[in-house]
Amino acid sequence: MLLELFRLAVGNLLRARGRLVMTASGVLVGTTAVVLLLALTFGLQEAAEAGIGSAASLTEIQVYPGFSPRPEESREPAMLQLDDEAVARITALDGVAAVVPLLSVQTQISLASGKYRYYGQFVGVPPEAAPYLGLRVARGTFSLGPGEALVGASVGSFFVDPDAQTWEPVEVDVLAEGLKMRVYSSVEGREQAFDITISGVLRPGSGSFDGTVFLPLEDVIALNEWSSGNRLDPEERRYDYLLVRATSRETTRAVSEAIRELGYGTGGVGEFLDQLNSFFTTMRLMLGGIGGVALVVAAFGVANTMMMAILERTREIGLMKALGARDRDVLLIFLIESMLVGLSGGLAGLGAAYALQNAINGALTAMPQGQGGPGFLPFDLSQVGNRLIVIPPELALFAVLLAVLVGLGAGALPAVRAARLPPVVALQQE
């Protein structure tokens, strides 16, 4: 039955193709406006998030030593240190997936390949916690056994000859065998070379870790003790900072607050994401509203067309009722018609939006590149594949549904009027 009414409605629409095209064009323009403006906010948000760092950094919280919030309640020193107890307390918090303590090497240290050296940050992490750093290897394997190291993506590109006049960076294959680690001992007053195996090179874009050499925590402890000549009680151990991994983007902020509640300092971009998101939500509402005005105008167009159609087809409505159509059959026919106007306009509008998306993004790529992207944008578009306009599938679906709703909403009143026409009045209309 519904299918049959659908067929009738399609037939009716195709009878007045010109009007269908005109009316649907209004919906087309409105849908295109809404989709493009919202797609712009999605593109900007993607670019902004890419500027913040990798997706992993969004669940990342850095924890620093802090002051106890309630010194009078405890007899401990006011300064809260990052020791194993701190690691245990933070691990116990809700929404924490893992806590990675980072301990840096306390003496002069470098990687050595022949006469070339790499000076950078050397950090120890517990091998079992290392996967929670959110890093992945580009080459080699993600392994941090004793005597092994993982290096950031740019480490291999920044070896220098320390004896040269100017330090020209030299490319070194860090995965090659024979790499040494040279460590200075203040006890002995000289450097000593240790064997080291680089098990993997991390992918680029690891944020602040691109130049870091990761070592097993135990190795760093041993190096620090060897170079300083002091054995440290494990309880006295102080980490540089802790990297806390939240279970999801949504919990990041709550975890951050809980850690500050404990008295520690926190950092990381994850918790600013909320603010960023709410900014983009506001932007979406505003731009969506502007595009929505076009859709409202289109809705009036649809309503007007349906009113005209009902005036024109009054006798036909009477006839259908004489032939046994119920009020609701007539209602459905007209609702289906207006819905189809919305749907066709929405689909065409979405198609137009996709075409414009490709055109705009293409034009941006073709533009003379400033620092990694068109100069008038405050961020680097190349990080997100030069896409300023991004239409997520949800937006496409939403736009088409919205267009259908506009059609239905605009057609509702005319359809009810048509359904309520008394058959004899409709038949006598000239």
Partner 1 sequence: MAEQEAARPIIIACRNVQKTFYLGERAVPAIKRVSLMIRAGEFVGIMGPSGSGKSTLLHLLGGLDRATGGTIRVAGRRLEDLSSDELARFRRETIGFVFQTFYLVPSMSALDNVALPGVFAGLPRDAREERAWRLLRAMGLTHRADHRPGQLSGGQQQRVAIARALFNDPPIVLADEPTGALDSRTGRRVMGLLRHLCDRWGKTILVVTHDPVVAGHADRILSLQDGYLIGDHAPETAEESDA
Residues lying near partner 1 in the complex (CB under 8 A): 1, 4-5, 8, 11-12, 15, 315-316, 318-329, 422-424, 427
What is the smallest separation between the CB atom of 335 and partner 1, expressed in angstroms?
Answer: 16
What is the smallest separation between the CB atom of 404 and partner 1, expressed in angstroms?
Answer: 24
Strand partners, 202: 137
Q: Cβ distance 26 to 301 under 8 Å?
A: yes
**136 or 326: CB nearest partner 1:** 326
- Based on the number of CB atoms within 10 Å of its own CB, is 396 exposed (0-12), middle (13-18) or buried (19 or more)? middle
What is the smallest separation between the CB atom of 351 and partner 1, expressed in angstroms?
Answer: 28
Q: Which stretches of 313-326 are DSSP H helices?
A: 314-322
What is the smallest separation between the CB atom of 307 and partner 1, expressed in angstroms?
Answer: 20
What is the smallest separation between the CB atom of 94 and partner 1, expressed in angstroms?
Answer: 58
What is the smallest separation between the CB atom of 347 and partner 1, expressed in angstroms?
Answer: 24
Angle at 360 between CA 358 and CA 364, to 5 degrees: 115
Place of tokens 């493009």: 36
- Based on the number of CB atoms within 10 Å of its own CB, is 271 exposed (0-12), middle (13-18) or buried (19 or more)? buried
**Following DSSP, what letter does each residue of 127-154 receive, concatenated?**
TTTGGGG---EEEE-----TTEEEE-TT
**308 or 319: CB nearest partner 1:** 319
**4 or 257: CB nearest partner 1:** 4
**What is the C-alpha to C-alpha distance for residues 196 and 361, in angstroms, rounded to an integer?**
47
Please give the DSSP secondary-structure letter assigned to residue 325.
Answer: -
**What is the C-alpha to C-alpha distance for residues 375 and 368, in angstroms, rounded to an integer?**
8
Please give the DSSP secondary-structure letter assigned to residue 159.
Answer: B
